[in-house]
Chains A and B, each alone.
Chain A
Amino acid sequence: GEDVEQSLFLSVREGDSSVINCTYTDSSSTYLYWYKQEPGAGLQLLTYIFSNMDMKQDQRLTVLLNKKDKHLSLRIADTQTGDSAIYFCADASGGSYIPTFGRGTSLIVHP
C-alpha cells in the first residue's frame, strides 16, 4: 500500500452504531483490513475484504468498500463499551503480508 488515512477520534453512545471511515491511495490494493487494538495489547484482526467485493458482514460488523473512491468503512452495530479501542484500517497488495496501516481511530463509547 501507499498511504492510508483515517480520522483520529470517534465518540458514540452505547447502543448506537459506529462508523469508522478510511481512505487509501494504492489502486493495486487487493486486500483491505480492519484491526482492533485494546489498551495495552497488540493488534487483532477483526475482518478483511477482497477488493472485488463491495460489502462483507460478520455479526455486528459490516465492511463497505467503494473501490472507485478508494473508501473503506467499518460499521459496528449496537456499539458496546467493550468496543472502545483503537481501530486500524490497512491495505495490502497481492499476497503481501506487509500491510500499510492508517494512524488508527480511537473509538470512545460512553453510556
Chain B
Amino acid sequence: DIQMTQSPSTLSASVGDRVTITCRASQSISSWLAWYQQKPGKAPKLLIYKASDLEPGVPSRFSGSGSGTEFTLTISRLQPDDFAIYYCQQYNSYSWTFGQGTKVEIK
C-alpha cells in the first residue's frame, strides 16, 4: 500500500500568515492527490484535486502543487475560518490512502 506522510502534524499560525503543509507519498502517484479540510464534528470538505486544481467554491487563497512523491498545500493569507485539520489523500492504481492530518491552530 502507498503510505502518505504529512508534515507538520501541528502548525501554529496567526491570521494573515502564509501557511504550507507538505504531503509525501511512499512511491510516485503522479498528480493523483487531493486535499481536504475538516472542522470538528463535520465531514471533510474537498479543497484541491489532481494536486493543483481548485474545487469550485473554494477560496483562491488555497493552492496546491507537486507531483510524483512530494506535494504542498499553501494558504496564502490565513483567515479565521481556516483553523482546521487538513488531510491529503492519494488515489493511484485503484488504491486510496489518507495522510495522518495536519492541525492548523491559532498561535
Chain A partners chain B: no
Q: Chain B: residues with CB nearer than 8 A to chain A?
A: none
Q: Chain A: residues with CB nearer than 8 A to chain B?
A: none
